[in-house]
Amino acid sequence: MELNLLNLLFVLLAAWLAGNLASRFGYPAVLGELLIGIVLGPPLLGVLHGSEAIAVLAEVGVLLMMLYIGMEVDPRDLKKVSWAGTLAALGGFITPFVLAFLTVRWFGGSVMAGLFVGIAAGITSLATKSRILVDLKLLDTRVAHVMMAGALISDTLSLIIFAAILGVADDGINLLEIGLVALRIVVFFAGTTFIGLKVFPWLGRRLSEAGLTGRTFNFTLVLLIAVLYGELAELAGLHAILGAFLAGLFLRENVLGRTLSQSLMDAVEDASIGFLAPIFFVTAGFEVSFSVFQADLGLFLAILAVATLGKVAGTALFYLPTGYGWREGIAIGAGMNGRGAVEIIVAQIALDMGLISQEIFSILVFMAIFTTAGVPLFLKWGTEWLRRRGELVRRGEERRGVLVIGAGPLARLLALHLQASRPVWLLDSNPEHCREARAQGLHAISGNALQENVLSEAHAAEADTLIAMTANPEVNTLVAQLARDVFFIPDIHLLQLGRGGVGHTTAFKRLKATALFAGSIPLNMWDHWISQHAVREVRRVPAREDMTLSEILVDQEADRPSLPLVLLREDEVLPVHDELRIQRGDEIVFVRHEPLAKSIVMTHDRFDRLVESASVLDLEEQLVTKSFFGLVARAVSDALDMKPETLQRLLLEREVAFSSLITPGLAVPHVVVDRPGLFHLVIVRAQQGIVFPREKQTPHILFVLVHSQEERTFHLRALSAIAQIVQDPDFEINWERAEGPEDLRRLIRAAERHRYAEAENFQASK
């Protein structure tokens, strides 16, 4: 077997030029590679030709490409697939599969040919969808979310069915053989899943501990694992591409680390899509026969019609139970109609095994070309149709959290506001800052933000917004770069310190970041003022809708130093930054400096009065949260004029969304209710602890806060008071020794902490 290097050079050159040309027009490179293979290969000009050596390279390319596709698919995404995505996938696969199978049989084709044509008709190209959705700026729509979920399920389902058909094709069709095939498939999936979930992570940890983290070493290891999985698939009577796909599926960041995993995925992409896989697609074009347009034109047109109509109509029909409307279902079906790499791979394997004829193979190739070429046009038409009718729903992705780098006083104040509308996590290298944040009911993690494993622990993968507000601009920039490159966090807000320079401006542009608080601020000064309680919050409704942030800031700063903290927009709380646009109904919360000379230290303040009127429960038995919240609700329902079951439900829902456990022994459950001017406190000593879901610790000190929306700022003062009280080293001992409810009340009332006059109680004013 001799490799003709000149022929290989021309094949690669043709693939490279045609693939890049197709990409320039918004189509996947595979489309250009197929077409150039048809034009320059034996079907037309005959300039290029295949060989045994090139066929081997192409086969290796397919194996690596399926490994790459597997590495691109996150198994966790399969768990998060919505009901709408599942219905779209099933409708978009089952309907064209059945119609294409029946069409082939109607025209006299074999059962096996009908099955493979059905699989090809049901496939949806995931890579094709991703590129087109980006180009059409549709990634933030529900249509895009459903399409990606549907393509993910469709590709995985088609590979499994393809593997099962291959097993039956090899062993014949009878009950015994079908049972053996099913058993081999079950054993294969069970074995590879066990190895992928248990052995791979263990191996990754051992290699990391041994310092074997080099890219070359691990790239070779990944290739070995892919070949091993491919061989296991072959032993099970399946095809090696399924094994390579599963290997990629399990070789993710939990095995190799996120950075190394991404680096290896890039290397596999370069080796497969950049080198070997194009050989496969160009040579696949060599097998096409134009005779189908003469002898089998009717079959081709019929398959093209049922594949297209079946995909669109099937998706729309199955999509109806979602309640999102048949028009959205049609738009999704039109977008899912493109095939691509997986279909060509399946068709080529079936041809090589003699399961389909060259005519059927040619039909499948031309079907992939025509349907893929039509996707951008039909998808654009469908989404424009929805947009004109006001039915194009834009929605945030599953990521909805905010990751704040820094947990100083200003960062904590900002986080307390932001968590009213979505999850917030703080990350700081200062353990004391993190302890204070947790005491205020915030989720805080202590660690180095420049380490990807620490960022991962801080929920970076779940965040759609990063706020970097440390006192070190270089750290802020580096963390933002890591967050964008590794965790793909789209919205970056950086604290601007001083005037900055050319490098500073360049970093903002490179990261597409905005300036937090709409400009540079003296962070240390604001941290000091907030920690000394020398600030109060002021709310401002812009005088007009087109008023700019700079105009609002000028008005505020004319009196005394003010900082625009957050913007309130309907149910959302947004951080203020320099690209924020004012809309009708917006309200801005400012933090205004109040000179310390005006602060009057008091011996009795509003929190003391809150303690004096609080309900105090002294529980001797251990309770789960549902029973505990039910007991709390019954104790205060009369005072709140609220049904106990309603308050219990609200407390439980809040606990499911965010754990109220602050430290191992302390929990501060709180809930906002629709009762203007309300603020109620329940003090609880749980002698045997309260069992919280997902938490190992059972707190025995609990402060339950129930308040109205406009009392949010006093809520911060209450949290601060609780934090100061429990930090007394003798408090926990005295808490355990207290002789009853009134003794517990006196203990809290007598605690040493800052007390201020009512004017300094962070009352919101407009």
pLDDT tens for 631-645 read 999 888 888 888 888
Identify the CA nearest to 765 among candidates 532, 602, 559: 559
pLDDT at 493: 92
Looking at domain 51-388, its CATH class is mainly alpha
Instruction: Please compute the mean of the pLDDT values over residues 199-204 and round it to a whole number.
Output: 84
Cα distance between residue 219 and residue 693, in whole Å: 41
Helix H or strand E encompassing 82: none
Identify the CA nearest to 622 among candidates 682, 702, 709: 702
Q: What is the pLDDT of residues 605-618, one digit of tens each?
A: 788 888 888 999 99
Which of the 8 DSSP states describes residue 462? Answer: G
Helix H or strand E encompassing 237: none
Alpha-helical segments (H) within 641-686: 644-657
Cα distance between residue 591 and residue 344, in whole Å: 61
SS (H, E, C) 399-452: CCEEEEECCCHHHHHHHHHHCCCCCEEEEECCHHHHHHHHHCCCEEEECCCCCH
Lowest model confidence (mean pLDDT) among 161-170, 413-422, 438-447, 729-738: 161-170
Instruction: Please compute the mean of the pLDDT values over residues 440-460 and round it to a whole number.
Output: 85
What are the domain boundaries of the chain?
51-388, 401-598, 606-760
Between 281 and 501, whose confidence is greater?
281
**What is the SS3 assignment for 752?**
coil
Examine the pLDDT at 159 and tell me if it is beyond 70.
yes
Cα distance between residue 578 and residue 68, in whole Å: 40
Q: What is the pLDDT of residues 460-479, one digit of tens each?
A: 877 889 999 998 888 888 89
Question: pLDDT grade, residue 600 (50/70/90)?
Answer: very low
Helix H or strand E encompassing 670: strand 670-672
Question: pLDDT grade, residue 732 (50/70/90)?
Answer: confident
Between 139 and 503, whose confidence is greater?
139
Chain-centroid distance of CA 74 in Å reads 10
Alpha-helical segments (H) within 615-739: 625-640, 644-657, 712-726, 731-737
If one counts every other C-beta atom within 10 angstroms of the C-beta of residue 367, the result is 22
pTM value is 0.51
Four-point Cα dihedral 749, 753, 759, 762, nearest 10: -100
CATH of domain 606-760: 3.40.930.10
SS3 content of the chain, % helix, strand, coil (to 5): 60, 10, 25
Examine the pLDDT at 499 and tell me if it is beyond 60.
no
* CB-side neighbour CA atoms (13 Å) of 453: 7
* CA triple 359-22-92, angle to 5 deg: 60
CATH of domain 401-598: 3.40.50.720
If one counts every other C-beta atom within 10 angstroms of the C-beta of residue 20, the result is 11
Scored b (16 or more CB within 10 A) or e, 70-87 reads bbbbeeeeeeebeebbbb
Tracing tokens 């019609």 back to the chain, one arrives at 305
**What is the SS3 assignment for 465?**
strand
Q: What is the pLDDT of residues 660-706, one digit of tens each?
A: 888 778 889 988 888 777 889 999 999 888 988 767 778 899 999 99
Tracing tokens 């099913």 back to the chain, one arrives at 182
Sequence-separated (6 or more) residues with CB below 8 Å from residue 103? 114, 117, 299, 302, 303, 306
Instruction: Please compute the mean of the pLDDT values over residues 529-534 and round it to a whole number.
Output: 82
492, β-bridge pairs: 466
Tell me the torsion sign for CA atoms 220, 221, 226, 232.
positive
Q: What is the pLDDT of residues 75-107, one digit of tens each?
A: 555 555 567 778 888 888 899 999 999 999 999
Lowest model confidence (mean pLDDT) among 254-263, 588-597, 641-650, 688-697: 254-263
Distances (CA, A) of 364 to 238, 354, 371, 658, 724: 22, 15, 10, 51, 71
Instruction: Please compute the mean of the pLDDT values over residues 480-508 and round it to a whole number.
Output: 72
Q: What is the pLDDT of residues 269-319, one digit of tens each?
A: 888 888 888 898 888 888 888 887 887 889 989 999 999 999 999 999 998
Question: pLDDT grade, residue 243 (50/70/90)?
Answer: confident
- CB-based contact 261:453 (threshold 8 Å): no
Instruction: Please compute the mean of the pLDDT values over residues 334-357 and round it to a whole number.
Output: 81
Letter for the amino acid at 526? W
β-pairing verdict for 666-667 and 661-663: antiparallel
Instruction: Please compute the mean of the pLDDT values over residues 317-324 and round it to a whole number.
Output: 86
Sequence-separated (6 or more) residues with CB below 8 Å from residue 673? 640, 642, 647, 650, 706, 707, 708
Cα distance between residue 625 and residue 630, in whole Å: 8
Scored b (16 or more CB within 10 A) or e, 584-616 reads eebebbbbbbbeeeebeeeeebbbbebbeebeb
Examine the pLDDT at 126 and tell me if it is beyond 80.
no
pLDDT at 275: 87
Backbone angles phi, psi at 109, to 5 degrees: -75, 165
Examine the pLDDT at 400 and tell me if it is beyond 80.
no
Distances (CA, A) of 116 to 102, 105, 165, 256, 613: 12, 12, 9, 36, 74
